[in-house]
Structure 1
Amino acid sequence: MALKITVIGTGYLGATHAAAMAELGFEVLGLDVVPEKIEMLQRGEVPMYEPGLAELLRKHVAGIEGSSGRLRFTMDWAEAGGFGDVHFVCVNTPQKHGEYACDMSYVDSAFASLAPHVTSGALVVGKSTVPVGSADRLARLLPEGVELAWNPEFLREGFAVKDTLHPDRIVIGVRSERAEKLLREVYATPVAEGSPFVVTDFPTAELVKTSANSFLATKISFINAMAEVCEAADGDVVKLAEALGYDDRIGAKFLRAGIGFGGGCLPKDIRAFMARAGELGADQALTFLREVDSINMRRRGHMVELAREAVGGGSFLGKRVAVLGAAFKPDSDDVRDSPALNVAGQIHLQGGQVTVYDPKGMDNARRLFPTLGYAETALDAVRGADVVLHLTEWREFRELDPEVLGEAAGRRVLLDGRNALDPERWRAAGWTFRAMGRPTA
């Protein structure tokens, strides 16, 4: 008999995982405790922007004309517990207020709510990013006859559907052959297509996600540190990164210097990793991550200083600043710890009249920073601006016409905080163009 799957938590990770499991042919029941979220999903709508996700939902959500009907949603823990053979826990683990450690309250609550209802023989699978050692503790919360496995997620926002259906690796931490067998059944399609399947213990599985994010954060901060050296030495960090990227031991990905990383994963994951290493007595092993974090945060302040120089070097008072970008990365509406909004907010607090435009992140940005100005188009954002800041590398911004934008701007001054625009194209249209870690002319 085909496995039945539940997905506990239908946020960014859970909604994507539930839709992907239905696409792979399973009967799926998604559970959440927020009624508005459930109502949206039942209509085949998603509470966030993620390319391809809404279409995948509508293809499978029961009650939508033409759908497979394999995907339903509920708020009833008893229904979920009785339905699933495999229960995926996909709830959030944010950073605790006022400290580096991660907040495990949502995960603990999900396990406590599911445990009384889960049937003997079922497998509970953690997908949330948790401190190493959590799985061992959580396994003890489950009733006898119910096993735990740990299966970290590796989704990239903007590519979540692809990353779930065609993962570059599947990692499972298990304690029995039966748990491994069940997860091999769940992931049979991607494994058959060639996705590597790594079987390990609980601690190693928990460490994979935080280790991967720490490595990527380190790589980004490394090239940003090189950008600082390039500015001091009049070098070109873009050419430097190109030369480094041809070394196959290094690779070209994540070597674009700019205002640094943000979002709901990298910043809080490296901080939680440091906190957990300290608890384990291995804090010296991760002291380098403090500098990685420091370099990253310093980039935002540096962009504010570049903007101050660009408007005359004194004060932002009375100056109009256009900010292109609010999301922490393109193809997402996620503004959590967004470097773009952080820079916009700092300039606003220092007296600048800031107007923001983002193709998808405007509503979330308004909720987080209601005192900033917002425009409906890039052209409206730059109208009358003394300086234009390019802070999220959307394709739409790369395709802007420098001449048309120049006619609207108060002054043709552009700071590229993502090293994604063509300097020659903008300079040819009469713009003073400056990018981080690159020669000024």
Structure 2
Amino acid sequence: MSYRITVLGTGYLGATHAACMAELGYEVLGVDLEPAKVASLNDGHVPFFEPELEPLLRKHVESGRLRFTTSYEEAAEFGDVHFLCVGTPQRDGEYAADMSYVDSAIESLVPLLTRPALIVGKSTVPVGTASRLADRIAELAPAAPVELAWSPEFTREGLAVEDTLRPNRLVFGVRSEYAEKVLREVFAPVIDAGSPVVVCDYATAELVKVGANSFLATKISYINAMAELCDTTGADVTLLADALGHDERIGRQFLNAGLGYGGGCLPKDLRAFMARAGELGAEEALTFLREVDAINMRRRQKVVDVTADVLGNQWIGKRVAVLGAAFKPNTDDIRDSPALNVAGRIHLHGAAVSVYDPKAMDNARRSFPTLRYADSVMDACQGAHVVLHLTAWQEFRELDPAVLAKTVATRNVIDGQNCLDRPTWRRAGWHYRGLGRS
């Protein structure tokens, strides 16, 4: 059967999923309540930066295979399989996830369905959500059989297109053979290309995503805790990570000490996971995640402290260049950005801070308007007393320290990502400071 696909929500997840479903050969209708965003997408423009996404989206908008609307009525009439891709942000003042967007999408779509349909949840949600939504769907859809499946996404910002078209696994949380059959047919091109499938219940599918994110956060915070010890003992955390990474039980990926994680997923998913465990009476199972979160947040202050040390604890009259605003390279996402958090803290101490990022400047200006934003690396570093490398863009990693030395007031660099070539910078006369690298 040739299914027609709708995608509810057109943020990072939804816009990417819609374009990739069109690339797999489906007719796709994206749904969003913001008319300006829908108009932009229908013109072939993505309102955020994600490598490879805009050309792919424009290709299928122009072919007629992909379009966008604000109408749930149109979505209900159009679609056979409805992917739920709305956001689940952290609630204000709480650890728990805000499920209002998920609930609203279900309430808006389901009563309008007049023929059999499958709704597929992809948003990251607290365990137990799918079961609750399935019950609500049964109440709202008396006129047609509507089923729910849960298939969490595992896309990485900066690699979202690749991860959607060639995922390292597909997880199908289902309650019927019908739902599994539909999902296998929808994802047949991906499965035929070699992506493994795990079929499970709702709760397991929900836990796979938050479990994966919590494990990655734990691994990052673990090596950052080791960096704290390395600073005390004189050891080198990068060599320590290399040695640990040779153990196949541990592996080298995500074992990179530095400024810590940020973004719109790991921090809020970790906290929502802890909150849900508390609601279920299993809080003790995840108490270790509080320290994981605390270690991560300490990294930001660590960079501020190292900066103060380099500047002799004199902030007034000092110029600080910050290279990076996005929470990681290859995105313009500044949500919970460690780089901007550090820039803001240093600015509050009284130093003159100048920020440059290849893609995230507009977003940064809107959220941190009091900082100065430069037009280039050289502009940001003009007259700087210290250069902070805080987002690991390739452009920054390939800087020529001998050329940059002609721009700064003093040759001090703090490598918050531990990925600059330390010997090269030192040969060019720079005082290099890494994190966990005495």
- What band does the TM-score fall into relative to the shorter chain? over 0.9
User: C-alpha root-mean-square deviation of aligned residues, in Å?
Assistant: 0.7
* Separation in structure 1 between the aligned mates of residue 77 and residue 316 of structure 2, nearest angstrom: 62
* Separation in structure 2 between the aligned mates of residue 182 and residue 390 of structure 1, nearest angstrom: 47
* Separation in structure 2 between the aligned mates of residue 395 and residue 338 of structure 1, nearest angstrom: 18
Where does residue 387 of structure 2 map in the other structure? 388
Deviation at 1:140, TM superposition (A): 1.9
Cα deviation code 1:82-112 (max 9, x no counterpart): 1111000100000001010000011111111
Asked if 2 retains the 8 angstrom alpha-carbon contact of 1:119 and 1:146, the reply is no
Where does residue 168 of structure 1 map in the other structure? 168
Asked if 2 retains the 8 angstrom alpha-carbon contact of 1:413 and 1:431, the reply is yes
Cα deviation code 1:45-79 (max 9, x no counterpart): 10110000001011101xx3xx3x11111111111
Question: Which of the numbers 66, 79, 82 marks the counterpart of 1:87?
Answer: 82
Where does residue 106 of structure 2 map in the other structure? 111
Return the TM-score normalized by structure 2: 0.98
- Opposite residue 154 of structure 1, the aligned amino acid is F
Where does residue 415 of structure 2 map in the other structure? 416
Question: Can you give the 5+ residue segments of structure 1 that lack an aligned partner in the other structure?
Answer: none
Cα deviation code 1:279-310 (max 9, x no counterpart): 00000000000000000000000100000111
- Opposite residue 206 of structure 2, the aligned amino acid is E
Deviation at 1:192, TM superposition (A): 0.5
Where does residue 19 of structure 2 map in the other structure? 19
Deviation at 1:117, TM superposition (A): 1.1
* Separation in structure 2 between the aligned mates of residue 224 and residue 36 of structure 1, nearest angstrom: 42
Cα deviation code 1:363-407 (max 9, x no counterpart): 011011000000010110000011100000000001111011111
* Separation in structure 1 between the aligned mates of residue 105 and residue 370 of structure 2, nearest angstrom: 36
**Pair 1:377-2:376 in alignment:** yes
Q: Secondary structure at the match of 1:393?
A: coil
Matches within 5 A, 1:29-428: 29-61=29-61, 64=62, 67=63, 69-142=64-137, 143-144=141-142, 145-313=145-313, 315-428=314-427
Cα deviation code 1:157-195 (max 9, x no counterpart): 000000000000000110000000000011101101110
Deviation at 1:317, TM superposition (A): 1.6
* Separation in structure 2 between the aligned mates of residue 36 and residue 11 of structure 1, nearest angstrom: 13
Q: Secondary structure at the match of 2:228?
A: helix
Deviation at 1:119, TM superposition (A): 2.8
* Separation in structure 2 between the aligned mates of residue 280 and residue 47 of structure 1, nearest angstrom: 38
Return the TM-score normalized by structure 1: 0.97
Deviation at 1:273, TM superposition (A): 0.1
* Separation in structure 1 between the aligned mates of residue 134 and residue 207 of structure 2, nearest angstrom: 17
Q: Secondary structure at the match of 2:418?
A: coil
Cα deviation code 1:7-60 (max 9, x no counterpart): 000111000000000000011111100011111111111011000000101110
- Opposite residue 155 of structure 2, the aligned amino acid is L
- Opposite residue 353 of structure 1, the aligned amino acid is A
* Separation in structure 1 between the aligned mates of residue 274 and residue 115 of structure 2, nearest angstrom: 37
**Pair 1:5-2:5 in alignment:** yes
Asked if 2 retains the 8 angstrom alpha-carbon contact of 1:230 and 1:437, the reply is yes
Q: Secondary structure at the match of 1:73?
A: strand
Q: Secondary structure at the match of 1:140?
A: helix
Which structure 1 residue ranges, 4+ long, deviate > 3 Å from structure 2?
A: none
* Separation in structure 2 between the aligned mates of residue 372 and residue 250 of structure 1, nearest angstrom: 40
* Separation in structure 2 between the aligned mates of residue 119 and residue 9 of structure 1, nearest angstrom: 21
Q: Secondary structure at the match of 2:353?
A: strand
Q: Secondary structure at the match of 1:115?
A: helix
Question: Can you give the 5+ residue segments of structure 2 that lack an aligned partner in the other structure?
Answer: none
* Separation in structure 2 between the aligned mates of residue 254 and residue 154 of structure 1, nearest angstrom: 15
Q: Secondary structure at the match of 1:184?
A: helix
Q: Secondary structure at the match of 2:414?
A: strand
Q: Secondary structure at the match of 2:335?
A: coil
Asked if 2 retains the 8 angstrom alpha-carbon contact of 1:125 and 1:149, the reply is yes
Deviation at 1:141, TM superposition (A): 2.1
What is the percent sequence identity of the aligned residues?
Answer: 66
Deviation at 1:121, TM superposition (A): 1.2
Asked if 2 retains the 8 angstrom alpha-carbon contact of 1:115 and 1:141, the reply is no
- Opposite residue 401 of structure 1, the aligned amino acid is D
* Separation in structure 2 between the aligned mates of residue 32 and residue 185 of structure 1, nearest angstrom: 26
* Separation in structure 2 between the aligned mates of residue 394 and residue 206 of structure 1, nearest angstrom: 32
Cα deviation code 1:326-367 (max 9, x no counterpart): 000000000000000000000011111100000001001101
* Separation in structure 2 between the aligned mates of residue 201 and residue 400 of structure 1, nearest angstrom: 49
- Opposite residue 352 of structure 2, the aligned amino acid is Q
Asked if 2 retains the 8 angstrom alpha-carbon contact of 1:87 and 1:123, the reply is yes
* Separation in structure 1 between the aligned mates of residue 340 and residue 153 of structure 2, nearest angstrom: 27
* Separation in structure 2 between the aligned mates of residue 316 and residue 290 of structure 1, nearest angstrom: 32
* Separation in structure 2 between the aligned mates of residue 119 and residue 160 of structure 1, nearest angstrom: 33
Paired residues, what number?
A: 433
- Opposite residue 79 of structure 1, the aligned amino acid is E
* Separation in structure 1 between the aligned mates of residue 84 and residue 238 of structure 2, nearest angstrom: 41
- Opposite residue 71 of structure 1, the aligned amino acid is L
Cα deviation code 1:227-266 (max 9, x no counterpart): 0001100000000000011111001000110010000000
- Opposite residue 151 of structure 1, the aligned amino acid is S
